[in-house]
A and B are shown apart, each in its own frame.
Chain A
Amino acid sequence: MLKDITLGQYFPGDTVVHRLDPRTKLVLTLVYIAALFMVGSWGGYALVFAALASVAAVAHIRPRALLKGLKPLVFIIVFTAVLNLFFTGGDDILFQWRSIHVTWSGLKRAVSMVLRILLLVSGTFMLTYTTSPLAITDGLEKLLSPLKKLHVPVYELSLMMCIALRFIPTLIEETDRIMSAQKARGADLETGTLPERAKALLPLLIPLFISSFRRADELALAMECRCYNGGEGRTRMKQLRMAWQDGVAFALGAALVAGILLLRRLGI
């Protein structure tokens, strides 16, 4: 049962978007987020939406996958909408009932906030849906490498990420095994009140913890035996390389920002 948990949201594929350098995608995601906050007109939102839709189309991401990803955010979206709708002041009252009043500016603000959240989250999905966690880690390490000069252990952090990702399936398998073992001894993990079930998890977590520490110990030894001695002087087999497609992607990103600023100027 636990094996069914999918890791991250990466959908493997072989499109141009998948093949872009992870650094390009990371930087462009940041550009996209910044651009979204520069939007000052409805036309701007339309442009961002068009950009998002074309990236999704090129990367073969189905609208359904995006909607599924947005589902957990329904509460936040509704909350934001209600808050903006009812608590924005102004004279252009649209609708009033006792002390509750809705203004035109409130309605506009609510819609634009909701659009902003939807576009923001869907935009970051473009990164996580098309880039494996490992590639993201690699890209982050390269992008943050100037911080090494400030003694930030960038390589160590990315190695930690990698090892964590590597051990998730192993630990899930182990949890499954311990669960079976405890059930065989009569442990009841599925019924009872919430506090009771939380308590029943204890005999599951303790063996898992102990074995994780043992694993960590053995892994450290194995790493030392393979000449691990920190990030210094290390080389990489796979070198990240920018191609012309990355140049095109950056140009398109710049065009998006320029377009948004232009529309804002024109007030469309």
Chain B
Amino acid sequence: MDPIIRIKNISYTYPDADRPALDGVSLDIMPGTFTAVLGSNGSGKSTLAKHLNAILVPAGGKVFVDGMDTADEGNLLAIRRQVGMVFQNPDNQIVANVVEDDVAFAPENLGVEPKEIRRRVDEALKSVGMYEFRMHAPHLLSGGQKQRVAIAGVLAMDPDVLVLDEPTAMLDPRGRREVIAAVETLCRERGITVVLITHHMDEAVRADRVLVLDKGRIVLDGTPQQIFPQTAALQALRLTVPDTVALMSRLNAAGMDLPMDALTPAECAAAILEALQ
């Protein structure tokens, strides 16, 4: 299978910055996978996200989306249709003052037939669990609900890839769970490729692949089971570890013998139970 996104040795420096935000990043993203990108502030993770749908064009190197070069302006709309992008602040992504009108915005821009727009809007809202709110005004929804509307607004373009740039940074724990659950369902059940930029480690434990960025370079790359037990390496990069890993490493330090790859709370609980018996 060919990668849906192919990044070849890209670098990028913001105007007025003294060091590059991205410095020689290469990466292939396979269709249908869930990739989490971690890194502390200023590690270049948001800059990487903005390269995935041609908001930024690399100064050196190339990005290909489904074989299309992002540096070619003629591909712009096709790339943006294929790679949907969700940002941090849900308030600043919602255009209309009725939920369903907002979700219809992207397909309307693409000139889709009215009947087909209706179908896509209903389907997108159902797939994030917001269908019953379709007639609501966005400003009366909770943060997690607004962010799910924003995701539906992108899904209505029928994209292959969903890039989420810290979608939960402004949400409370409940909103965070809602959004992450919706994103996981989209990846596992609808086969949408997900790239999740985050600094909440707990959100990355269910990913297929975890990338850790530091100073514009990929420093760690592997499955969550390979990455998260490296507590020392993560702490050196000013990152915390998931709560489950933190708990298990403290229990191990206290003399227990737990496997460090039980990352989800359920797995962790099962592992502790087994060790105790």
Contacts from A to B (Cβ < 8 Å): 134, 162-163, 165-166, 169-170, 173, 215, 218-219, 221-229, 233-239
Contact among B92, B97, B108, B138 for A237, CB-based, below 8 A: B108
Residue of A nearest to B94 (CB): A166
Q: Is B108 a contact of A236 with CB atoms below 8 Å?
A: yes
Q: Which residues of A contact B110 (CB under 8 A)?
A: 227
Q: Is A235 a contact of B111 with CB atoms below 8 Å?
A: yes
Nearest first, the 8 closest Cβ-Cβ pairs linking A and B are A218-B92, A226-B106, A222-B93, A237-B104, A169-B139, A237-B117, A225-B85, A166-B97
Q: Which residues of B contact A170 (CB under 8 A)?
A: 91, 139
For A134, A221, A227, the residue with the greatest tally of chain B CB atoms inside 10 Å of its CB is: A227
Considering the complex, which residues of chain B in the window 234-277 have a beta carbon less than 8 Å from any beta carbon of chain A? none
Q: Is B112 a contact of A235 with CB atoms below 8 Å?
A: yes
20 contacts between A and B (CB under 8 A): A134-B98, A166-B95, A170-B91, A218-B87, A219-B95, A222-B93, A224-B55, A225-B55, A225-B84, A225-B85, A226-B106, A227-B80, A227-B157, A233-B111, A234-B111, A235-B113, A235-B117, A236-B104, A236-B114, A237-B118
In whole angstroms, how far apart are the Cα atoms of A224 and B97 in the complex?
A: 18
- Asked if A237 meets B111 with Cβ closer than 8 Å, knowing A166-B94, A218-B87, A218-B92, the reply is no
14 other A-B residue contacts (CB within 8 Å) besides A170-B91, A218-B92, A226-B106: A134-B96, A162-B97, A163-B95, A166-B97, A173-B139, A219-B93, A222-B92, A224-B55, A225-B80, A227-B81, A228-B109, A234-B108, A237-B101, A238-B101
Q: Which residues of B contact A162 (CB under 8 A)?
A: 95-97
B121 within 8 A of A: yes
Is the interface on chain B under 10, 10 to 19, 20 to 34, or 35 or more residues?
35 or more
Nearest CB of B to A54, in Å: 30
Q: Which residues of B contact A224 (CB under 8 A)?
A: 55, 80
Q: Which residues of A contact B81 (CB under 8 A)?
A: 227
In whole angstroms, how far apart are the Cα atoms of A170 and B112 in the complex?
A: 30
- Asked if A165 meets B139 with Cβ closer than 8 Å, knowing A221-B55, A227-B110, A235-B111, the reply is no
B44 within 8 A of A: no
Q: Is B77 a contact of A237 with CB atoms below 8 Å?
A: no
Residue of A nearest to B121 (CB): A237
Q: Is B55 a contact of A229 with CB atoms below 8 Å?
A: no
Q: Is A226 a contact of B157 with CB atoms below 8 Å?
A: yes
Nearest CB of A to B126, in Å: 16
In whole angstroms, how far apart are the Cα atoms of A116 and B20 in the complex?
A: 69
